Amino acid sequence: MAEPIPSLELVERVIAGERRAIARMLSRAEAGLAEAREALDHLYRRAGRAHVVGITGVPGSGKSTLVAKLAAAVLDTGRKIGVIAIDPSSPFSGGSILGDRIRMGEIAGHPSVFVRSMATRGALGGLARGTLEAVDVLDAAGYDMIFIETVGVGQDEVDVVRAAHTTVVVSAPGLGDDIQAIKAGILEIADVHAVSKGDKPEADKAVSELQSMLALVLPAAGFKRAVPVIKTSSPRNEGIAELLAAIDEHREYLATSGLYEVRRQSIRERRMLKAAQQVLHDEFERHREGRMAGVIAELAAGSISPQTAARRLLAHIGIEVKR
């Protein structure tokens, strides 16, 4: 059996757009391999050109079909498109369906399209571990636009808004009441709203209701930009060009308003905090039977609080937190 190619040797091949090298690096990013850390850092420094679009919405809203149609529309403009589709993992086996290549249809094999399914493996927030490093890999490989399709949206599943330059929320007619949509924060996280299944008779009503709610909620929340609501029908290929135009217009808005760099910096800071969280978790797991065993025993006995235990965990890696 051949020895695996070191990750650092894959970097230039990824940048050159070699598909096998990209696939290997994506697998290593998803696995969180320490051996790939330096290579991924190199690729992060070479990234930063792609327009990252988060696409989220409740299950059953037709996200995957819409993403396939949008990707085809991007191809028609001469751009390269990467798709990272997050699939939910089984809470029992940890397995995932990972069926997005099937749902993407014929374009999945196009040389200017790279589709990657990733399992959440229990990660919260609608994204999988390694999602944003996978974005770096595709960005450095020369993909112009990268879609992140999340598992769904809810009150705790809005990490995509902190990971993407543009967030599209997909709604479908008749999937839930308006109040629940507001509670879930769907209105506030969207830069663009898409109403799918536009061939249904109630689609126009859904568009009108969304527009009315946006007119009430967004000005009160301090939003200065009108958020477009686009009616789409994937089977009829209707509204797809308009949706892509709205996504492109949002990027132009970010650039001309000076908010693009603000959003990029916000994404960087969020990634730093998420990475620190993961490092802390890994350090705890590594030492739970050793240096952390005493702290865990005290916590189990109720002699210390979780706050005190957390401070000791931080002290274990050399961080002193003042009270």
Burial class from Cβ neighbours inside 10 Å (0-12, 13-18, 19+) for residue 201 reads exposed
Give tens-digit pLDDT for 112-151: 999 998 876 544 444 556 888 999 999 999 999 999 988 6
The range of the structural domain enclosing residue 299 comes to 270-316
Domain co-membership, 157 together with 210? yes
Distance between CA atoms of residues 297 and 314, nearest Å: 17
d(CA 149, CA 304): 42
Residues 228 and 288 grouped into a single domain: no
Listed residue (52, 39, 247) closest to 132, CA to CA: 52
Q: Specify the number of domains making up the chain.
A: 3
Domain membership of residue 6 (yes or no) is yes
Helices (H), 77-202: 100-103, 131-140, 178-183, 186-189
Does the residue 323 lie in any domain?
A: no
**Average pLDDT rounded to a whole number, residues 244-259:** 96
Does a structural domain hold residue 265? no
Residues 292 and 232 in one domain: no
Q: What pLDDT was estimated at residue 260?
A: 94
Q: Do 87 and 174 reside in the same domain of the chain? A: yes
My answer on whether 239 and 298 are in the same domain is no
Q: Do residues 5 and 151 both lie within one domain?
A: no
Residue 137 inside a domain? The answer is: yes
Per-residue pLDDT tens over the stretch 33-63: 889 999 999 999 999 999 999 998 877 788 8
Same domain, 250 and 299: no
Taking CA atoms, 193 is separated from 169, 250, 304, in Å, by 5, 12, 48
Q: Are residues 111 and 132 in the same domain?
A: yes
CATH of the domain at 104: 3.40.50.300
> pLDDT tens digit string along 179-219?
455 545 667 788 999 999 998 888 998 899 888 888 887 77
Q: Is residue 173 part of a domain?
A: yes
Domain assignment present for residue 4? The answer is: yes
**pLDDT at residue 264, as a whole number:** 93
Q: Are both 151 and 134 inside the same structural domain? A: yes
More confident call, 181 vs 105: 105
Q: Please tell me whether residues 53 and 16 are part of one structural domain.
A: no
In a domain, 264, yes or no: no
CB 128 within 8 A of CB 85: no
- Residue-wise pLDDT for 60-95, tens only, equals 788 888 999 999 999 999 999 999 988 754 333 344
Q: Same structural domain for residues 148 and 81?
A: yes
The mean pLDDT of 145-171, rounded to a whole number, is: 77
Interatomic CA distance for residues 22 and 175, integer angstroms: 37
Q: Does 33 share its domain with 141?
A: no
